[in-house]
Amino acid sequence: MTQGKGTQSMPQDEEKKKARKVEQLYNKALLSIESGQHDYAITFLRSALSIDPEFAKAHEAIKLAKTRKLQQARLISQKTRSILFMIQAFFYEHRGKYEKALDKYESLFALMPPPLVMLYHLGDVYLANGILESAATAYRAVLQADPNNIHSLRKLGGIYLDQGKTAEAKPIYDRLSSVAADNMAVMKEVNDAYAIITIEKGRWEEAVSFRQKVAGDTTAENREAPEEKEEAIAAGDLSERIGILKRTLEKDADNTDLRKELAELLLEKKHTDGAISEYRKIVDINPEDITSREMLASLYRKAGNIQKAAKEYGELNKLFPDRLDILGTLAELLCEQDAPEKATEVYQKIIELSADDPDAHETLGKLYEQTRHFEDAILEYEKVLSLAPERKKVEESLGNLYLRDGKNAKAIEKFERVTEEDKTNTGLRKILGDLYLRESLYDKARAAYEEILSISPDDTSAKARLQEIEAAELDKKADEIDSQVKKYEKAGSAESDNREVRNRLEEAKLARLDLQIQALENRSKASPDNPEFHYQLGVACRKRGYSDRALKELQLAVNDEARSIESQHLIGLCFEDKNILDIAARQLEKAAGKSDEMNDTRKAILYDLGRIYEKMNREQDALGKYKEIYEVDIGYRDVSAKIEKAYKDQTPDLRP
């Protein structure tokens, strides 16, 4: 092989190639900066500097990208935080965590002027927390901007009535009556309010009339009916008693007996928020009033305020640490509050008091599982099964935990018990089949998947697993032959001239390859979209000498990013096996173009490309490929010898 005059320009070409690459990366970075994608820009620029650390424009562009990124972050920070607070507030409100919702709403309004819809949500949250004055302020703010907002009118009117402020309530309900005259539900509420207001003024007949309107009876006959009149008067009496109690408590605020009576009357009128407020005051006045605290906790739970309900049941638990009903309710509330660690502590107390309760053990097991204390969960589930062996769901959960810990034998034992009773549970049977397959229990695995197909004949995953079993069995046979190959190789090294040993060795190797190909064919059929199986099958077919079959499989694998370069390389070698050298060279050039890093894979591609160029009598092209390797790895294969021979063969005036 001889070297021509063009070889002197190779280093210059390489420098130009690097310069073009750096410029391309720089231009991509500028486009990214303009489109606001500053992180991408910085990545491109750092890549450019890794090629040319002295590229000054890249250093300046990185400073620009970082500055623009900081400016953009400042612009969107306030908006992003506002959106985050809004989402969190809605979430907590929906979950009944009103104290947390209130905190997020207040944080939101510290950043931005509150829109109307947010204001009345804030009012609702204040109301749920029993902060009536703040709720009223929020509703009034809504009504300043939108005087006809029905939601805020209803809520504000209700607050005024609960506070006994009938004078302030009257114009609110007048407005509500004018804007919602066609809404029957709202008008019933308005007439009920008018009845309370007129009773306060001692106008009994008007109150009766309003109560009849609430009941929907407006005919002359119904207005005269004695029973209806008595009911209306009774309702009016209830409102009057509420009003009297409120006025009395203004002068005697610490009278808990009167507050209890008022709370009961408010509940009778379905004014839950007002009743909560009264029981809260009773408990604040007398923390040892157990009945009122239990009632307060129950009402908080009924109103959806889980956080406050849990707090009150916690106080009750301090007073009555051995009451299972209080502990059970507290644990449930803590679970609803997404506090599994605290709920776990409560269930541990329950089990101390009731060690043979399988429900408590099961719930505690679930909490341990939720908090990732898996060993403790296993102990609790085992205890459940010792108390209630029929609980197959617990047995299945226990099997899953054993499976997670890699205790396959125990997992199989649990899953087998469940599937014995529930023959139609194909999902669990698949898990069991996979475990059998993992443990090389092929007969049991085959029986499991055949059982699934008897229930669901079109189950493609079960069919695929049966093919996987066949492949695994073939792998096992291949391993057996592999041990024979090693035996013959050892014998062959000792008896290098023994033709019989060499023949047996070749036969064993071919048999092993045939089994590998058969196993890979089964896997490829089971997962036709898995490029890895196509790649492995292509490799095995080429080793066996099946070039066309290898090409078909490798062409299916070449589009997979993980195997693209290796597949392209082997496609080129397959064409070389078929002595189609021009196509082989093109395929290897494609493979080389996919790899920029000079690693072992790229070296192998360049070396094979050089060999093929030599076969095609393209000595200078071959030498160029060898030199690429030689520049970074002088000891790679026989590259050094090829380079030195090329330079010895050329005339002195052509040497550098």
130 φ/ψ sector (left φ>0, alpha ψ -120 to 50, else beta): left
What percent of the chain stands above pLDDT 70?
A: 79
Token look-up 């003024």 returns 201
The confidence score (pLDDT) of residue 229 equals 41
**Residues 161, 193 contacting (CB under 8 angstroms):** yes
What mean pLDDT is predicted for residues 384-400? 89
**Residues 41, 61 contacting (CB under 8 angstroms):** yes
pLDDT band at 93 (very low <50, low <70, confident <90, very high): low
Residue 45, pLDDT above cutoff 70: yes
Residue 100 or 227, more confident: 100
Residue 4, pLDDT above cutoff 50: no
Residue 496, pLDDT above cutoff 70: no
Rounded Cα gap, residues 119 and 443, in angstroms:
67
Q: What pTM was estimated for this model as a whole?
A: 0.39
Residue 215, pLDDT above cutoff 60: no
Rounded Cα gap, residues 34 and 522, in angstroms:
52
Residue 582 or 68, more confident: 582
Residue 8 or 201, more confident: 201
pLDDT band at 538 (very low <50, low <70, confident <90, very high): very high
The confidence score (pLDDT) of residue 550 equals 93
* Half-sphere CA count of 195, side-chain side, radius 13 A: 27
329-357 tens-digit pLDDT:
888 888 877 788 888 888 888 888 778 88
Most confident of 247-256, 411-420, 494-503, 580-589: 580-589
Residue 286 or 220, more confident: 286
- What are the Cα distances from residue 52, in Å, to 15, 28, 57, 441? 10, 16, 11, 58
Region of poorest pLDDT, from 102-106, 275-279, 647-651:
102-106
Rounded Cα gap, residues 587 and 608, in angstroms:
11
What mean pLDDT is predicted for residues 421-430? 83
Residue 288 or 2, more confident: 288
**Residues 101, 89 contacting (CB under 8 angstroms):** yes
Residue 543, pLDDT above cutoff 70: yes
Residue 321 identity: P
Residue 640, pLDDT above cutoff 70: yes
What is the Cα Rg of the chain in Å?
Answer: 41
Question: What value, to the nearest 5°, has the Cα angle with vertex 456 and ends 453 and 458?
Answer: 85
Region of poorest pLDDT, from 439-453, 558-572, 632-646:
439-453
The confidence score (pLDDT) of residue 218 equals 44
The confidence score (pLDDT) of residue 211 equals 56
pLDDT band at 230 (very low <50, low <70, confident <90, very high): very low
Residue 509, pLDDT above cutoff 60: yes
Picking from 283, 368, 362, 360, the residue whose alpha carbon sits closest to that of residue 324 is 360
Residue 439, pLDDT above cutoff 70: yes
22 φ/ψ sector (left φ>0, alpha ψ -120 to 50, else beta): alpha
* Residue-averaged pLDDT of the chain: 79
Residue 153 or 327, more confident: 153
Residue 642, pLDDT above cutoff 70: yes
Residue 239, pLDDT above cutoff 60: yes
The confidence score (pLDDT) of residue 224 equals 40
CA 647 to chain centre: 63
What mean pLDDT is predicted for residues 104-117? 62
What mean pLDDT is predicted for residues 537-556? 92
Residue 85, pLDDT above cutoff 60: no
550-596 tens-digit pLDDT:
999 999 999 988 899 999 999 999 999 999 999 999 999 999 999 88
Which DSSP category does 527 fall into? S
